[in-house]
Every structure is written in C-alpha cells, then in structure tokens.
Amino acid sequence: MATTITTNGAHANGIHLNGAKRAGISTDVDSQFSEYDKMNGFSPENIPPSEFQERIERVRAALEPANLSGLLAFGDCWRGANICYFTHFRPLDGVSDIANSLFFLPSTGSPALFVSQQCLLYAQTISTFPVYTLMDLASHLQAFSAGNSGKLGLAGAAYIPADLLDRVRAALGSVELVETSVLAEIKAVKSEREIALIRKASLLADAAMAAIRDTLADGKPHTERELALIADQAMLAGGAERTAYDSMVQAGPRSAFNLARPTDRVLQPGDLVMTDIGARYRGYVADGGRGFTYGPASKDKIAIVKAAATAVEAGLAEGKAGMTCAELNAVIQRSIVKSGYEEFSSEARGHGTGHGTGMDPEEEQPWIGPGNQTVLREGMVFTLKATITVPGVGGLRTERIVRVLPEGHESGKGLEALDQFPMELYW
C-alpha cells in the first residue's frame, strides 16, 4: 500500500485527507486526520492525533540527552503501553506475531510502526505515521544500521520475546541495542486527557466494589468466582471495555495469598477477603485493591484492614511533587512497620509500595520503592498500596490510584486519589 508522507511528517497511507474540520478541535494535525474520525467514529475522550504527535516529539527530543540515536519500543497485546503511547493501535491475542508490535523512532526521520500482516490495515487507519509489517522490520533496521553508529534504545526489554529480539539483533548488525528507561520516564507523566480516562476507569472499579458489597448484603452464600463475575458485570454495565486484568477475589485462608485467581470457595462469615479488581476504559486502566471483613470478624482481622488503610492514608497525606519515590515509599513502609506488620508485608520489607499505571495496569515508572531517586512530578499517576498477609488469619491489598498535584494546589494537598471507594470495609 503506497504511503504518502506530508510535510509535517503526518502519514496519509492512501486515505484521502480532505481537511474537514474535526468537531471542536482546531489544530492542523487533528483536522488533517479527520479521516480517522470518518473511519473510526469520534469520541472527545479519545487521545487526538495532535497529542500523539506531541508525544512522539517529546520522546524524540529525549533521545540525544540519553545518548541514543533512536528508540525501539516493544509492546504486546497485554503489555501494550510502549506502543499505545504513540498510537491507538494495540496488538491482538495470539501465539505468533499477531500479539507483537515494535515502534521505531529514529532521532531524525519518520517514525514507523511494525505489526503483523493481519493487523496492517487496522494499524494504518489509526496511526499518524507509516505502518509496515514485521516482515519489513529487518530491512528498516538494516537501513538504520547502515546510516548510524549510535546506540538504539530498547523499551520493553523485560518482556520482549526471545524470538523477536533475535530478529531485531540480527538486523541491527553492529548497532548496539541497549535497554533504556527514556520512554518509561516520559510516559509516567500523564496529560489531562489521560488523567480523565484513568479517573473514569477508577470510578468503574469503584462500582465493582459497590456491586460486591450490595451482593453480599443479601446474606446468601456466594463464591469467589461469583463475586468476581458480579464485579466484572458492574464494570461493563458502567461502560468499561473490559477488566484491566483478571479480577481477584480471595476469601478466608486464600486472602493470605499475595496473588491468586478466584475459585468456587464460598465466603464464610468472619472471613477476611482480598480483592484486586480493575477496569479498562478507552485505552486506560484502573488498578484497584480493597479488602474487607465479611460478617462478624475477629479483632485481628479488623486490625489488618485498619493497618493497611492507615499506611495508604499516610502516603496519600504526605506525597507530593518534589519528593522522591524512595521517600514516599518510606512513608508507607514506616506506617506498616509501626502497626506491627513488618513481617507480614512485602511492602514493609522493601519490595515497593506502588507502581506506575495508565495504559497498562503495571508500568515501569514511577516505581514507588526503596532506592528510586526519581522525583515525583505533577501529572505522574501511580498506585499506592499496602499488602498485609498473615498466615492462618488472612490478608488484603489496599491499593489506590493517585496523581501528583501541582505544587501549591488550592486543595493544599500533594496527591489526589482518582478512585474514591473507602478503604476501611467491614461488611
């Protein structure tokens, strides 16, 4: 399919651009891409072409200071953030290249997206730059290699498949491929539109908790699986595309498992119940976590709920722009230790009390953990959490989604929670 590159680098790719004005948006790039709206419908909530273009230039500008002559970003169907930062395209489910995609951004010259053959037409109609199949990856990288002696930065190194990485390396020849955190750091700071979408996803996750609460109020027996289903139905009813990840509901002894999947276990009065439920909405997710006691609960279970809430509240109260991730981590870690649960909490033992989130439930930056000197900046979005699991008693993970407010915000606060459901739950 012939591609036409216009003077501002925007990609036409065979779609007639008639310059029709995009409703309410007056930037040149957005009107130039009004054909996207004709093809895909229009929603004011979606990230517009101009915002994708800004992101491309922001990342491009960060390459030279990072001593890179280009970026190669890997994303798959489920960990698509490195791709979705640049385009509405996200790969599809499968065991082959259908699930893979690479975004290539050289310091100078047009970016390019590489997808499987089956995804090509779709990707071309929602991207603002040229799209090729992964079969063409080698020739593009060889051309880059021939003209460049600098290093190429790789984003997504932790989960790129070995098979694909081998192909990339073979094509690069002598060009060095190095892991880079440039993209992770830039996408950690969210735009107003992104925050609005994450906020919406967060409220959908809240609706899931409300649905669980209301279901349990009937006093009838319910299994973990049923409650997870009810939670998911509530999120879809509110307009979620899907869950952000597979909903977790773990009751009684199973609430002591840090991560697990729901089973046919029936909730018992007196149980502590761990839940970790999130929604996906228009490319953005909420990664929520709440635990609750069910029926008349023992003091030790109530204390666990309270300690986790107290720890997260401490983080919410003290976090602010200008603080390092390590400092914020220490606030939550100290609270858990002070409550006496150091032995029962991975966060208290230094495993981190939060992570970046946005287009995927888990994103690399900002990681709220010991040693991370990254400074919190206005617009960063991440989770704050406390997990306490006591063998023989039970556990929970209390997790909030927060954004960093501008310094001197009128509220007087440094962080705003995007989800609103209460943390101390005794049902």
DSSP 41-77: ---TTSPPHHHHHHHHHHHHHHHGGGTEEEEEEEEES
Contact criterion met (CB below 8 Å) for 292 and 398 = no
For 295, the token pair is 């029926």
**What is the smallest separation between the CB atom of 225 and a second copy, expressed in angstroms?**
7
Count Cβ atoms within 10 A of the Cβ of residue 165 and give its class: 0-12 exposed, 13-18 middle, 19 or more buried. Answer: middle
CA proximity to 201, closest of 357, 96, 31, 348: 357
Report which DSSP code applies to 128. Answer: S
**What is the smallest separation between the CB atom of 56 and a second copy, expressed in angstroms?**
21
Closest to a second copy by CB, 36 vs 320, is 36
Task: Please list the residues that pair with 390 across neighbouring strands.
Answer: 394
Report which DSSP code applies to 107. Answer: S
CA proximity to 405, closest of 347, 319, 340: 319
Q: Scanning the structure block, which residue is given the tokens 């979606």?
A: 46
Distance CA 361, CA 372 (A): 20
Closest to a second copy by CB, 56 vs 81, is 81
For 81, the token pair is 């953030």
Distance CA 244, CA 309 (A): 23
Closest to a second copy by CB, 116 vs 316, is 116
Closest to a second copy by CB, 257 vs 427, is 257
**What is the smallest separation between the CB atom of 3 and a second copy, expressed in angstroms?**
16
295 is a site residue for a second copy (CB under 8 A): no
**What is the smallest separation between the CB atom of 162 and a second copy, expressed in angstroms?**
4
Question: Which range touches a second copy (CB under 8 A), out of 49-57, 105-113, 122-130, 398-406?
Answer: 122-130
x/- track of binding to a second copy for residues 245-284 (CB under 8 A): xx-x----xx-xxxxxx-xxxx------------------
Q: What is the dihedral of CA 69, 73, 74, 77, to 10 degrees?
A: -160
Distance CA 93, CA 95 (A): 7
Closest to a second copy by CB, 90 vs 320, is 90
**What is the smallest separation between the CB atom of 372 and a second copy, expressed in angstroms?**
15
Q: What are phi and psi of 89, to 5 degrees?
A: -70, 140
**What is the smallest separation between the CB atom of 254 and a second copy, expressed in angstroms?**
7
The amino acid at residue 294 is Y
**What is the smallest separation between the CB atom of 38 and a second copy, expressed in angstroms?**
9
For 180, the token pair is 């880079």
3 is a site residue for a second copy (CB under 8 A): no
Closest to a second copy by CB, 143 vs 170, is 170
Closest to a second copy by CB, 122 vs 427, is 122
x/- track of binding to a second copy for residues 77-106 (CB under 8 A): xxx----------x-xxxxx-xx-------
Question: Which range touches a second copy (CB under 8 A), out of 76-84, 137-145, 200-208, 322-330?
Answer: 76-84
Among positions 202-241, residues that touch a second copy (CB under 8 A) are 223-225, 228-229, 232-233, 236-237, 239, 241
Radius of gyration (Cα) for the chain, nearest Å?
A: 23
Closest to a second copy by CB, 61 vs 266, is 266
Q: Which residues of 315-324 are buried (b: 16+ CB within 10 A; e: fewer)?
A: bbebbbbebb
Contact criterion met (CB below 8 Å) for 172 and 153 = no
Closest to a second copy by CB, 194 vs 224, is 224
Among positions 150-179, residues that touch a second copy (CB under 8 A) are 157-166
**What is the smallest separation between the CB atom of 256 and a second copy, expressed in angstroms?**
7
Closest to a second copy by CB, 241 vs 416, is 241
Residues making contact with a second copy (CB under 8 A): 39-43, 46, 77-79, 90, 92-96, 98-99, 116-119, 121-122, 125-126, 157-166, 223-225, 228-229, 232-233, 236-237, 239, 241-246, 248, 253-254, 256-261, 263-266, 346, 360-364
